[in-house]
């Protein structure tokens, strides 16, 4: 089990990386390996993901209130901005739920290693740069079609591979469809809510009745630290994404990937 100092670093790392296109899962796998720490365990990962979920829900609380209010209208078949967004988010969530439930065990057993993370860091980093460079970046999320939502959802399945980045691959797909950077980032962030909930429920099912000894105070502190860090990161990312683009994240991904290939080959 990690100690308090290690837990604090991992919580901050989760908060910073969950909503940036640099892969939180990859970093959570790498940090214990690089520093020789004990594996933090699935229960800890669930705790810090809960913190990230609290942050994104708090940040988009007004958007979520509007989406919840639109549920009755959506059930009646009414089409407006909120019902369409609700439908598109639900549609984009389905692929990762289906594939994740079928393949997550194999992925966890076969692909959680530094060389896979190195390859996905570089490959999907370059793909993100190409999508940003070649995309029209002129459409708003209101112009998204059900095919576009399904395309983003299908791309999100790739995030099951450590190092891909859920935020990164959904941002890549949205930019490739021609969405503006801000709208692509907002859709990616909103899509993270049902995705994190689904992943959390799936992972927690493995812990039911078998979590063993749990330091609840450490887990609660880690979740709170993850939430605070993630909230600040979301605010800064949405404020700066149009100005700075994705190149800084691409450069970071490529450099980290090269470093991992150097260290582990």
- In a structure prediction context, what are the per-residue pLDDT tens digits for the chain, which is 265 residues long? 789 999 999 999 999 999 999 999 889 989 998 899 998 887 888 899 999 999 999 999 999 999 999 999 999 999 999 999 999 999 999 999 999 888 877 776 677 789 999 999 999 999 999 999 987 777 899 999 999 999 999 999 999 998 999 999 999 999 999 999 999 999 999 999 999 998 888 777 766 655 556 788 999 999 999 999 999 999 999 999 989 999 999 999 999 999 999 999 8
Q: How many domains does the chain have?
A: 1
Beta-carbon contacts of residue 53 (< 8 Å; ≥ 6 apart): 193, 196, 197, 200
Dist. CA 254–CA 127, nearest whole Å: 11
Residues of the domain holding 245: 4-264
- pTM flag (> 0.85): yes
Torsion of CA 86, 197, 31, 219, to 10 degrees: 140
Percent of the chain exceeding pLDDT 70 equals: 95
pLDDT given for residue 210 in this prediction: 57
Dist. CA 149–CA 184, nearest whole Å: 11
The SS3 assignment for 179 reads strand
Beta-carbon contacts of residue 261 (< 8 Å; ≥ 6 apart): 115, 118
Dist. CA 126–CA 168, nearest whole Å: 11
> What would you measure as the largest C-alpha separation in the chain, in angstroms?
57
- Reference 187, options 37, 18, 63; nearest CA is 63
Q: Classify 165 in phi/psi space as left (phi over 0), alpha (psi -120 to 50) or beta.
A: left
- Buried/exposed 80-101: b ≥16 CB within 10 Å, e otherwise: eebbbbbebbebbbbbbbebbe
- Upper half-sphere CA count for residue 225 (Cβ side, 13 Å): 18
> Per-residue DSSP letters for 182-206?
HHHHHHHHHHHHHHHHHHHHHHHHH
């Amino acid at each position: 089990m990690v100690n308090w100092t290690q837990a604090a670093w991992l919580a901050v790392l989760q908060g910073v990386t969950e909503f940036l296109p640099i892969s939180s899962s990859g970093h959570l796998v790498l940090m214990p390996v690089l520093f020789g720490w004990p594996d933090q365990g699935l229960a800890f990962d669930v705790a810090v993901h809960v913190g990230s979920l609290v942050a994104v829900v708090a940040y988009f609380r007004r958007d979520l209130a509007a989406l919840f209010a639109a549920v009755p209208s959506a059930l009646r078949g009414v089409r407006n901005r909120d019902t369409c967004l609700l439908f598109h988010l639900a549609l984009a969530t389905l692929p990762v739920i289906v594939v994740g439930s079928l393949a997550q065990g194999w992925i966890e057993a076969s692909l959680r290693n530094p060389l896979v993370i190195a390859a996905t860091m570089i490959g999907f980093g370059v793909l993100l740069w190409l999508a940003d460079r070649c995309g029209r970046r002129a459409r708003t999320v209101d112009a998204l079609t059900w095919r576009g939502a399904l395309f983003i959802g299908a791309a999100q399945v790739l995030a099951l591979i450590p190092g891909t980045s859920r935020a990164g691959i959904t941002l890549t797909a949205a930019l490739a469809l021609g969405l503006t950077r801000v709208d692509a980032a907002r859709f990616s962030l909103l899509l993270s809510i049902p995705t994190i909930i689904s992943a959390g429920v799936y992972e927690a099912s493995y812990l039911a009745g078998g979590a063993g000894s749990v330091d609840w105070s450490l887990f609660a502190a880690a979740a709170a630290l993850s939430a605070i860090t993630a909230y600040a990161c979301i605010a800064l990312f949405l404020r700066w994404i149009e100005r700075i683009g994705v190149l800084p994240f691409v450069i970071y991904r490529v450099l980290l990937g090269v470093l991992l290939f150097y260290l582990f080959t």
